[in-house]
């Protein structure tokens, strides 16, 4: 089973994405806790791509593809902004230092990495693809 969605890069589409993912997962009869966790992770990645990767440029688009294969949920999030992904530059934040200096923000990808079982970044031609996986044992 596979579902797709294309959105323009505006914050207003974050609710559209959350609803799209929630409805798909509810159809699979997943628990509310699992649905909420996955929606939170997807929302964080999509928000980063819209806000930071594409600078809320409504002429740019994200394509989302959802699928369940065997006992694994997968979402692909694709865009054409070659600077959207920099997985090699990601560094797990030092939470003690964040607390010490009172820093806010910058912990979203840490949360995504903890919620999802696997996070992959690839480039296909002029397209970047972020894949998030969750095992459904």
* List of domains in the chain: 2-135 (3.30.565.10)
63: left (phi over 0), alpha (psi -120 to 50) or beta: beta
Quote the CA–CA distance of 108 and 114 in Å, as a whole number: 10
**pTM for this model (two decimals):** 0.87
β-bridge mates for residue 132, sequence order: 75, 119
pLDDT value at residue 83: 63
pLDDT digits (tens, 9 = 90+) for 5-46: 999 999 999 999 999 999 999 999 999 999 999 999 999 999
91 pLDDT more than 80: no
pLDDT digits (tens, 9 = 90+) for 109-121: 889 999 999 999 8
Spell out the SS3 assignment of 21-81: HHHHHHHCCCCHHHHHHHHHHHHHHHHHHHHHHCCCCCCCEEEEEEEEECCEEEEEEEECC
In 28-77, which ranges are continuous DSSP H helix?
Answer: 32-48
The residue to which tokens 């949360």 are assigned: 111
Rounded to 5 degrees, φ, ψ at 13 are -85, -5
């Amino acid at each position: 089973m596979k579902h797709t969605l294309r959105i323009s890069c505006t914050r207003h589409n974050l609710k559209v994405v959350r609803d799209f993912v929630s409805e798909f997962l509810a159809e699979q009869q997943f628990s509310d806790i699992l649905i909420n966790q996955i929606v939170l992770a997807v929302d964080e990645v999509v928000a980063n791509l819209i806000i930071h990767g594409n600078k809320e440029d409504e002429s740019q688009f994200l394509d989302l593809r959802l699928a369940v294969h065997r006992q694994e949920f997968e979402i692909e999030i694709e865009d054409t902004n070659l600077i959207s992904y920099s997985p090699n530059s990601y560094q797990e934040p030092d939470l003690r230092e964040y607390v010490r200096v009172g820093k806010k923000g910058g912990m979203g990808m840490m949360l995504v990495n903890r919620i999802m079982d696997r996070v992959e970044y690839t480039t296909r031609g002029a397209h970047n693809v972020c894949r998030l996986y969750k095992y459904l044992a």
